[in-house]
Structure 1
Amino acid sequence: MDLIKQDSRPLYLRVKEYIENKIKKEIYKPGDRLPSETALSNELGVSRATLREALRVLEEEGKIVKHQGIGTFVNQQTPRFLKGIEELVSVTKTIENAGYTPGSKVLRLEEIYPDDKLSKKMRLDSSHKILKIERIRTADNQPVVYCLDHLGLKYLENGISKRDFQGSLFKLLENKYGIFIKYALTHIVPYITDKSLAEKLDIKEKSPLLLLEQYHYDTDERMILFSQNYFRSDQFQFKVLRKR
């Protein structure tokens, strides 16, 4: 392919990147069998030796797997984000730390009165309004987390604007409202995607998700934020260090 040959890097690396990009864009999906070596080398206009070197590196990196006599397959997708859950880091920072560009799409921003269940979770009287924020968080424009956040309006004295919620809530609370989130009590809950959430995250219905329900406290021990973050389990994996 002309675009590949115009690049000055070693040819096998350019071929590797071409195949890698097709995997990333899910043109080749997890579990898919790649075209034959003959078909791929003809498509790219490279020798089979060059193609095989590119495939060798992809196999070493765990992105493809070869089955003798059957073919070469895209490996079942491994999570892009592996993080320790003991450290409280915003979704934005998690995505940035992994080398991707974070993004956010605000689906809904509304003031509501909490029901009894939510008011108990947030330690607020049901007569106090809260701000409900519904967002999709993206990494390189791919949806990876569905976030449902609840903030007590009494803490947001400087007013609210939809554009405020395009990035990290932690930074917003610090920079605009002078609130520093000190720690969070977190519950990890396995969750199966319903139709609505599957459409939002661009995944199949009944796909597994990791739901993190978090109660965030500030330096004055106030429960400021209650969040429900639904992480795509094909994109995120959480770990924790346990000691005896």
Structure 2
Amino acid sequence: MRDPAYQKVVFGLLEQIRNGMLLPGDKLKGEIQLAAELGVSRSTLREGLRLLQEAGYLQIKNGVGSFVRLPDGLIQNRLTTLESVGKMIERAGFQADSICRSVIHRTPEPGWRTALELSNEEKVVEILRERRADLHTVAVSLTIFPEQLVHDGFDQGISGSIFENLEHRFDRVVHYAVTRILAPNPNSTQDKRIIEQLNSPTVLLEQLHFDSNDVPVFLSLDYILTQEMKLTIRRERI
């Protein structure tokens, strides 16, 4: 017996969600275009979308469209897209906020100095923030700026997007980031302190951000709770 036609819709869209082509918050294409791409009628498409909605993979807003969500409530991010942790949280349908735990002017770690191309005399501004989704902690972010860039501009804390703050307050635009996914080092005093604070399985997202002239702007270390957030990347065979 052949599978019902609506299963082409269910399996086709689930595959796109699972491989990261569709992320929570993404709006599906219109019915006519989506039905043509999947090779089904519009009535068959609607039945498939209804089943995905019941399973928790879609949120259908009448008069607006269909939006992807995850039934397990995980916050998902496609690593080929550069966006803030706050934006990742909002895209998943949660209310994003953060608590600034500390702002310190200090001598950088040797690795930070090298990454940010600082001289031996230059200091950094280190900002430690707790990142939350619907008032629930999902990550801890350590953001390191060259002191000569931000001076005392963040001494009272930071609100909103770092990218927007840098652009509007310091005239620096981030164009790309070099990203590494790491396991926190239990022998590192810094990593150990944050791991103990979170008391949960954690992955470290290390990102060095650059401007259009390939000059490093800031370094971010995001300690992400793996039970709350999911990182994905699409890899193509060449």
Corresponding residue of 1:167: 160
Cα contact 2:185–2:192 (8 A) shared by 1: no
Contact residue 115 and residue 216 of structure 2 kept, 8 A:
no
Residue 195 of structure 2 contacts residue 202 of structure 2 at CA under 8 Å; is this kept in 1? no
Deviation at 1:199, TM superposition (A): 5.8
Q: Which residue of 2 aligns with 1:25?
A: none
Question: Which residue does the alignment assign to 1:111?
Answer: 105
The one of 194, 197, 211 equivalent to 2:194 is: 197
- What is the Cα deviation at residue 97 of structure 1? 1.5
Give the partner amino acid of 2:79: I
Greater than 4 Å deviation, 4+ residue runs: 59-62, 192-196
Is 1:228 the counterpart of 2:228? The answer is no
Q: Does 1:120 align with 2:114?
A: yes
Call closer, same or farther: CA 1:215–1:195 in 2, change over 3 Å: closer
Instruction: Go from structure 1 to structure 2 and tell me whether the alpha carbon gap of 1:79 and 1:123 turns closer, same or farther (over 3 Å shift).
Output: farther
Q: How many residues align?
A: 169
Distance of 2:108 and 2:86 partners within structure 1: 27
Change in CA separation of 1:239 and 1:161 when aligned onto 2, cut-off 3 Å: closer
Question: Which one of the candidate residues 100, 125, 135 is aligned to 1:131?
Answer: 125
What's the counterpart of residue 231 of structure 2? 238
| AA matched with 2:167 | E
- Deviation, 1:196, is 4.3
Please say which structure displays the higher CA radius of gyration: 1
- Pairing 1:183–2:183 present: no
Cα distance in 2 for residues equivalent to 1:83 and 1:240: 8
Choose from 208, 214, 238 the match for 2:207: 214
TM-score by length of 1: 0.62
Q: Deviations over 1:148-179 (max 9, x none)?
A: 1110011125x414445132211111111111
Match of 1:99 in 2: 93
**C-alpha distance in structure 2 between counterparts of 1:162 and 1:140, whole Å:** 26
Task: Determine helix, strand or coil for the equivalent of 1:93.
Answer: helix
Q: How far is the alpha carbon of 1:195 from its aligned partner?
A: 7.2
The answer to whether the 8 A contact 1:91-1:168 is kept is no
Q: SS state of the match for residue 166, structure 1?
A: coil
Give the percent of matched residue pairs that are identical in Structure 1 and Structure 2: 26
CA distance in 2 between partners of 1:141 and 1:101 (Å): 8
Cα 1:195–1:78 change in 2 (3 A) is farther
